[in-house]
Amino acid sequence: MAFDLHPQLRNDCHEIGRLNGCHILLHRNSNLPWYILVPETDAGELHELTPEKRQNLDALMDSIACFLKTHHQCHRTNVAAIGNRVPQLHLHVVGRWEGDACWPDVVWGNLPPAAERDQPSIDALRTQLMQFLEKTDS
């Protein structure tokens, strides 16, 4: 199936990997670890996904929430499917902690600008995350 990421997601994010039909993105804003999952589907909302795609997305969301707590040492995760500006179905999984750049507000519309991570940091994060996911997926 031909599947193209929405240009806005491509513009806002680094592409980290792909697992079980989901693209894993990392928001370029480096204030927080902000992952975005994009299942390869035409469905516009979570409840419209096929059971198999929903299960894959939920499992990936849960694994990334664990990675946020263990690797990034976040104490809270914010999970959301919004899509008011970008209609392509995508799920935010954001690591949060007291005193972070926009705590306790939500990130959408409130996160101050921050420089992108450098390429070695992104590459290292990709390796660590994909190893973690392959372990929890097996």
Q: Which residues of this chain interact with its own copies, rule CB under 8 A?
A: 45-47, 58, 61-62, 65-66, 76-85, 96, 103-106, 108-110
Least spacing, CB of residue 125 vs its own copies, in Å: 20
Mapping DSSP to helix (H, G, I), strand (E, B) and coil, where does residue 129 land?
helix
Least spacing, CB of residue 121 vs its own copies, in Å: 25
The secondary structure of residue 57, as a DSSP letter, is: H
The secondary structure of residue 86, as a DSSP letter, is: -
Least spacing, CB of residue 108 vs its own copies, in Å: 5
Q: Which of 27, 32, 26 is nearest to 101 (CA)?
A: 32
Of 16 and 77, which CB lies nearer to its own copies in the complex structure? Answer: 77
Q: Phi first, then psi: give them for residue 26, nearest 5 degrees.
A: -125, 125
Of 105 and 116, which CB lies nearer to its own copies in the complex structure? Answer: 105
Of 108 and 132, which CB lies nearer to its own copies in the complex structure? Answer: 108
Least spacing, CB of residue 91 vs its own copies, in Å: 9
Q: Which of 14, 40, 35 is nearest to 118 (CA)?
A: 14
